[in-house]
Structure 1
Amino acid sequence: MQDKDLPDIVDLVREMGAFGDGGRNRSPGNSNSGYGQGGEPQAKPAPGLPAQSQAAPDLPGHLEGLAARARTYVEAASSPNTRRAYAADWTHFTSWCRRQGLAPLPADPQVVGLYVTALAAGAADNAPGRAAPRSGGRKPHAVSTIERRLSALAWNYSQRGLTLDRKDRHIATVMAGIRNRHASPPRQKEALLPDDLIAMLETLDRGALRGLRDRAMLLIGFAGALRRSEIVGLDCGRDQTEDGRGWIEVLDGGLLVTLRGKTGWREVEIGRGSSDATCPVMALQTWLSLARIAHGPLFRRVTGHGKKVGSDRLNDQEIARLVKRAALAAGVRGDLPEGRRADLFAGHSLRAGLASSAEVEERHVQKQLGHASAEMTRKYQRRRDRFRINLTKAAGL
């Protein structure tokens, strides 16, 4: 299904003006841009391309099929999660512009500079002319959130054939000041180490399909250092589903996972465990056998009081909920209040756990995580190598 937040590829093709004057012309007021005259955002439909200054002819009928195929490629250029986030950020920006009496189009660095200032001041959701209340109001947005929204605006403008100059002084200087005043160290999710994972596995019901599925997902996610989307995107074999992100092959030495991640296609080797209780390959085979899954998505919803397995793949949010739920049930980081513990764990806790606990050369960990640089891999190694090299003693003290 086409994302309503994205410009239509047919409109993009029409803008090229390469099809003569044989079609019916569209007037600016009738374009599916999501904006009325003057660039004011409309409630419905979602923001699309801005109205064109000159009418463009309709696309000839014999090219409609090609345009439909091009649309699927446009959608495949970014993940659904990224498109949803960018669409939400664009909606927030256009809503703020409407309240302030400003036009979101064309790309104006001064308007964007005012917007990021409002985000940093906690006033982006207030009525015009009113500052954020000292108590009971919205908190200022984190610098990382502001950076993401700025990237989302640049992306949305580019999809509309416009360019947002992020180096313009109205944006660059304001962002430099925001970083200097409000930046804070990143809050990383807690790494789940092997003992933590084993304790989490013990909280799952081995006699229930849901427990067997969750067990396999935790072990596969940890041993493969997989992202949430990569776990739930796996199929039993190659080219079995349209929305699949990879597939598995069970070999003598373990599990070979071929998947499409952020950096492209890569292979991940998941070796067999030292015991059946902690073997990711055994856990996966048990789940597939008892769930009677031989084709299509690996991990699916269990319904009917835990006795029926559906046909659709799980949402990647289920991985985050599973990790959080199992970690709390196992008492991981029991030295902290439950409220704080709930914020420590997420899907990335599995990737960070393998990176922090695997006693191998760093290049092997980097390959498993699919990182292009060792520096990125080190960000996942929460507890590894601390004080292993003591420069104080090396200096003679």
Structure 2
Amino acid sequence: MDPSLRNLDHPTTSASDSSIGPDPHEGDESMRLGDRQIALPSPVAGSGTFDRLVETARDYARQAVSENTLRAYAKDWAQFARWCRMRGADPLPASPELIGLYIADLAAPQGKAQSPSAFRPPSVFRPQSAARPLSVASIERRLSGLGWGYAQRGQQLDRKDRHIASVLAGIRRKHARPAVQKEAILPEDIRDMLATLPHDLRGLRDRAILLIGFAGGLRRSEIVSLDHGRDDTPDSGGWVEILDNGALITLRGKTGWREVEIGRGSSDQTCPVHALTQWLYYAKIDFGPLFVAVSRNGLKATQDRLSGKHVARLIKQTVREAGIRPDLPEAERIKLYSGHSLRAGLASSAEVEERYIQKQLGHASAEMTRRYQRRRDRFRVNLTKAAGL
């Protein structure tokens, strides 16, 4: 059994996990840079009122981008700074030529350079084995992170510069591939997954997570960001109201607030609203985070909000224990499923008009919703025959 799946409430951090991350100091510095951009204009004399306004403005500036995005951008900058340092280059000022070389190395790694040292002969410094090439989407995300990093340092990265744009266009043309989609969790799958959960406090919670995530078409980050009531915690991403006909979830999304309606199911065993009320009752949750960790003895709910990683681990563990896709080796089966499998499962299973699924998932276009539909009648509308052929 994968050790990372053994204890969902108290995962351990291995040494290998820390070795792949950016230097903590570099990341923290990038996270703090945005605060430094907010200050009084030089001609204005400081005062108590202005100082308080500066702190308020800095607080709003920190809220402009989510913590996860800031963390990802900080990591992008730290990795780029390390790449430059290992090659004797300086990341500042912004150099389109250098960025072009960087993204070329991300697409086709040439090996990790080593910094020279006065204590070793030059023959020692040979490139290490090449790193794994990044996908086009990952490279574009890195560029967004670098653009943010330069902006926080008072500089501008021109992504339209030919040294960047032409290289990126070539990478797209040569390496772009259709996105690898995760397998959808279908109704029969989720029933089997629910059957693997224990009938204790932890099992009640995980049952509610799976059913609410599936019926609401929620992202894993949205599931764990929910509070019991409105404005219960500063980091709340939404709240839940239990009504007679179902549960109404109010979510804060990328483009604003949206409501998700989750109706009651046909039986208590698979009803997401029933599962949620059972968890809230026995865990005695009437304030704060909706889904929290459970004590090691499994008898008491703590006040610690779960992370999105818990949802991913829960899905992989229950998929494995339920024996879903027995035609594949266990390692391949687990890789097929993630938090997005719940959203894809709803989109693929609900026998309703597409616009209702689009609204539930919070998509701006029907085309995005169709990407989540793993099984649908692709040729229901036959334009060939409609045209008279």
Question: Structure 1: 5+ residue runs without aligned partners?
Answer: 21-58
Q: How does 1:252-331 map to 2 (within 5 A)?
A: 252-331=244-323
- Are residue 72 (structure 1) and residue 59 (structure 2) matched? yes
Match of 1:49 in 2: none
Question: Structure 2: 5+ residue runs without aligned partners?
Answer: 1-26, 117-124
Aligned partners of 1:95, 1:223: CA distance in 2, in Å? Answer: 44
Match of 2:215 in 1: 223
Distance 1:148 1:211, change over 3 A: same
- Are residue 242 (structure 1) and residue 234 (structure 2) matched? yes
Aligned partners of 1:13, 1:201: CA distance in 2, in Å? Answer: 50
Q: Is the 8 A contact 1:19 1:60 kept in 2?
A: no
Q: CA deviation at 1:263?
A: 2.1
Aligned partners of 2:339, 2:382: CA distance in 1, in Å? Answer: 33
Match of 1:102 in 2: 89
Match of 1:70, as an amino acid?
Answer: A
**CA-to-aligned-CA distance 1:255-277 (integer Å, 9 cap, x gap):** 00011012210111000001111
Match of 1:30 in 2: none
Distance 1:10 1:270, change over 3 A: closer
Alignment partner for residue 193 of structure 2, among 185, 188, 200? Answer: 200
- Give the match's secondary structure for 1:285: helix
Distance 1:388 1:248, change over 3 A: same
Q: CA deviation at 1:354?
A: 0.5
- Are residue 212 (structure 1) and residue 204 (structure 2) matched? yes
Q: CA deviation at 1:4?
A: 4.1
**Aligned pairs, number:** 355
TM-score (norm 2): 0.85
Q: How does 1:160-171 map to 2 (within 5 A)?
A: 160-171=153-164
Match of 2:236, as an amino acid?
Answer: G
- Are residue 148 (structure 1) and residue 173 (structure 2) matched? no
Aligned partners of 1:374, 1:392: CA distance in 2, in Å? Answer: 22
Q: CA deviation at 1:71?
A: 2.2
Aligned partners of 1:388, 1:312: CA distance in 2, in Å? Answer: 48
Alignment partner for residue 44 of structure 2, among 8, 14, 19? Answer: 19
- Give the match's secondary structure for 2:181: coil
Distance 1:15 1:147, change over 3 A: farther
Q: CA deviation at 1:62?
A: 4.0
**CA-to-aligned-CA distance 1:265-313 (integer Å, 9 cap, x gap):** 0111000001111000000000111111111111000113211210121
Distance 1:124 1:266, change over 3 A: farther
Return the structure number with greater relative CO, CA threshold 8 A, min gap 6: 2
Aligned partners of 1:259, 1:125: CA distance in 2, in Å? Answer: 43
- Give the match's secondary structure for 1:277: coil
* C-alpha RMSD over aligned residues: 2.3
**CA-to-aligned-CA distance 1:117-144 (integer Å, 9 cap, x gap):** 11111137333798976xx532222222
Q: CA deviation at 1:7?
A: 4.3
Match of 2:175 in 1: 182
Aligned partners of 2:214, 2:378: CA distance in 1, in Å? Answer: 22
Match of 2:286, as an amino acid?
Answer: A
Aligned partners of 1:88, 1:252: CA distance in 2, in Å? Answer: 46
Aligned partners of 1:371, 1:124: CA distance in 2, in Å? Answer: 40
Q: Is the 8 A contact 1:132 1:138 kept in 2?
A: no
Match of 2:157, as an amino acid?
Answer: L
Distance 1:16 1:382, change over 3 A: farther
Q: CA deviation at 1:3?
A: 5.7
Alignment partner for residue 109 of structure 2, among 98, 105, 122? Answer: 122
Distance 1:131 1:175, change over 3 A: farther
Aligned partners of 1:389, 1:324: CA distance in 2, in Å? Answer: 36
Match of 1:107, as an amino acid?
Answer: A
Q: Is the 8 A contact 2:291 2:305 kept in 1?
A: yes
Match of 1:380 in 2: 372
